[in-house]
Chain A
Amino acid sequence: DAGVTQSPTHLIKTRGQQVTLRCSPKSGHDTVSWYQQALGQGPQFIFQYYEEEERQRGNFPDRFSGHQFPNYSSELNVNALLLGDSALYLCASSLGQRSYEQYFGPGTRLTVT
């Protein structure tokens, strides 16, 4: 039973560029949440996708957008990258929007230079 997978593992981008991160949820899960974990800090909620729609959103600018596909996998897109976007981006999946058990992937380390 595959857990949550994310790609790529590491990514280096330049300021102003755009990036797409990918997440495949745990088998049987239909809800995906994205979190940003800056160095030395706890994860911060970006948004949640359920039934291919953004259902909840944290305090992040519109430069952060996402998508969920019919197979429940998800993408996180960040436009006009800033140095401050450098972080570990974590994907978490759950069964149902209201589920209190979230399973996290290993994350994608994004470095913006």
Chain B
Amino acid sequence: AQSVAQPEDQVNVAEGNPLTVKCTYSVSGNPYLFWYVQYPNRGLQFLLKYITGDNLVKGSYGFEAEFNKSQTSFHLKKPSALVSDSALYFCAVRDMEDSSYKLIFGSGTRLLVRP
């Protein structure tokens, strides 16, 4: 069965410090992987995706993510956090081998960047 795990409910980091939000996945085939961000009372905003190619993916607002096939991970990173990055972050996966086109989401990680 396809699944996504975000092991941390909340990540706290000081402004200017690097941040990492963790994600691991399980699919039977090859994965498509995504990160979305959700601000209060807003829908999901797309940050970045991994489909194929370079394991380091760069996305919006200075975020990047590293795909690690052996560890089945897709951690979200940013070299220098901003207070405005504080939000709810979701990792999602789609199984390339599955005829269903649905996204499977993790439970979310709340990022809190303190000034």
List chain A positions with a Cβ less than 8 A from chain B.
4, 6, 33, 35, 40-45, 48, 55-56, 58, 90, 92, 97-107
Contacts and interface: CB of A to CB of B under 8 A. Distances in A.
A35 B103 CA distance: 9
Contacts of B45: 104
A-B pairs with the 10 shortest C-beta distances?
A42-B105, A45-B102, A104-B43, A104-B44, A106-B43, A43-B105, A56-B100, A42-B107, A105-B43, A100-B32
Given A42-B90, A42-B106, A104-B36, A56 B101 contact: yes
Nearest to A98: B101
Say which size band chain B's interface belongs to: 20 to 34
A-side binding surface: helix, strand, loop or mixed?
loop
B28 interface: no
B-side binding surface: helix, strand, loop or mixed?
strand
B46 A101 contact: yes
A96 to B, nearest CB: 9
A35 B44 CA distance: 11
A33 B102 contact: yes
Contact of B108 (A42, A48, A101, A104): A42
21 contacts: A33-B102, A35-B105, A42-B90, A42-B92, A45-B103, A48-B101, A56-B100, A56-B101, A90-B43, A92-B44, A97-B101, A99-B101, A100-B34, A100-B49, A101-B49, A103-B46, A104-B43, A104-B45, A106-B41, A106-B43, A107-B43
B96 to A, nearest CB: 9
